[in-house]
Structure 1
Amino acid sequence: MAVASGSVAFQSGYIKSARGVKLFTCSWLPANQEVKALVFLCHGYGVECSIFMRGTGTRLAQAGYAVFGIDYEGHGKSEGAVCLVERFSDVVDDCSSYFRSIRGNYNALGSISHDRTPVEMPDYKNKARFLYGESMGGAVALLIHRKEPMDWNGAVLVAPMCKISEKLKPHPVIVSILTRLSPLIKSWKIVPSKNIIDHAFKDPIKRDEIRANPYVYQDKPRVQTALQMMVASTDLEQRLDEVTFPFLVVHGKEDTVTDPACSVELHKRARSTDKTLNLYPEMWHGLTVGESDENIERVFADIVAWLNLRSPAGALTAKTLQQSDLKMVIDDHKLTASNGVCNNNHSFN
Structure 2
Amino acid sequence: NSHCAHFSNQIHCEEKKTSNQKETMPSEAESSANLAPAKPPPYFWGDMPEEEYFTSQGVRNTKSYFETPNGKLFTQSFLPLEGEIKGTVYMSHGYASDTSWMFSKICMSYSRWGYAVFAADLLGHGRSDGIRCYMGDMEKVAATSLSFFKHVRTSDPYKHLPAFLFGESMGGLVTLLMYFQSEPETWTGLIFSAPLFVIPEEMKPSRPHLFAYGLLFGLADTWAAMPDNKMIGKAIKDPEKLKIIATNPNRYTGKPRVGTMRELLRKTQYVQENFGRVTIPVLTVHGTADGVTCPSSSKLLYEKASSADKTLKLYEGMYHSLIQGEPDENAEIVLKDMREWIDERVKRYGSAKTV
TM-score of the superposition, structure 1-length normalised? 0.82
Instruction: Extract unaligned runs of 5+ from structure 1.
Output: 106-121, 321-349
Question: In structure 1, the residue corresponding to 2:347 is in which secondary structure?
Answer: coil
2:293 aligned with 1:220: no
Among 109, 128, 141, the alignment partner of 2:175 is 141
- What is the aligned partner in structure 2 of residue 266 from structure 1? 301
Q: Retained in 2: the 8 A contact 1:8–1:61?
A: yes
2-structure distance, mates of 1:317, 1:135: 26
The count of residues paired between Structure 1 and Structure 2 equals: 302
Q: What CA distance in whole angstroms lies between the structure 2 residues aligned with 1:201 and 1:124?
A: 35
**Number of the residue aligned with 1:14:** 65
CA distance in 1, matches of 2:349, 2:86: 8
The structural deviation recorded for 1:150 is 2.2
Say whether residues 1:29 and 2:79 are aligned partners. yes
**Alpha-carbon distance in structure 2 between the residues aligned to 1:319 and 1:164:** 37
Give the counterpart letter for 2:86 in structure 1.
Answer: K
Correspondence for 2:117 among 54, 67, 70:
67
Equivalent residue for 2:288?
253
Q: Note the alpha carbon deviations across 1:168-205, whole angstroms, 9 max, x for none.
A: 44443333223333611122111112111111101111
Q: Which residue in 2 is equivalent to 1:281?
A: 316
Q: Work out whether residues 164 and 234 of structure 1, in 8 Å CA contact, stay in contact via their aligned partners in 2.
A: no
Helix, strand or coil for the counterpart of 1:22?
Answer: strand
Q: Within 2, Cα distance between the matches of 1:259 and 1:11?
A: 35
In structure 2, what is the Cα distance between the partners aligned to 1:41 and 1:243? 18
Task: Among all aligned residue pairs of Structure 1 and Structure 2, give the percentage whose two residues are the same amino acid.
Answer: 35
1:96, 1:144 within 8 Å by CA — same for their partners in 2? yes
Contact 2:76 2:118 in 1 (8 A): yes
Residue in structure 2 matched with residue 77 of structure 1 by the alignment = 127
- Match in the other structure for 2:106: 56
Q: How many Å separate the matches in 2 of 1:225 and 1:212?
A: 24
- Corresponding residue of 1:316: 351
Structure 1 residue runs of 4+, over 2 Å off? 163-182, 312-315, 317-320
Partner Cα distance (1:264, 1:212) in 2: 33
**Counterpart of 1:309 in 2: which secondary structure?**
helix
Q: Distance in 2 between matches of 1:178 and 1:300?
A: 42
Shift of 1:314: 10
Confirm whether residue 41 of structure 1 aligns to residue 91 of structure 2.
yes
Matches within 5 A, 1:152-301: 152-166=187-201, 168-181=203-216, 183-301=218-336
Query: Match for 1:32: what amino acid?
Result: E
Amino acid at match of 1:230: L
Please list, as runs of the form range in 1=range in 2, the aligned pairs for 1:96-107 lying within 5 A after superposition.
96-105=146-155
Q: Which runs of 5+ in 2 are unaligned?
A: 1-49
Using the alignment, how far apart are the partners of 2:151 and 2:220 within structure 1? 36
Partner of 2:219, secondary structure, is helix
Shift of 1:210: 0.4
Matched, 1:129 2:163: yes
In structure 2, distance between residues paired with 1:224 and 1:208: 29
Q: SS of the counterpart of 1:296?
A: helix
Q: Partners of 1:89 and 1:50 in 2: how far apart?
A: 23
Which structure ranks higher in relative contact order (CA pairs < 8 Å, sequence separation ≥ 6)? 2
Aligned Cα root-mean-square deviation (Å) = 1.9
Instruction: Tell me how far apart the structure 2 counterparts of residues 179 and 136 of structure 1 sit (CA, whole Å).
Output: 23
Check the 8 A contact 1:150/1:319 in 2, yes or no. no
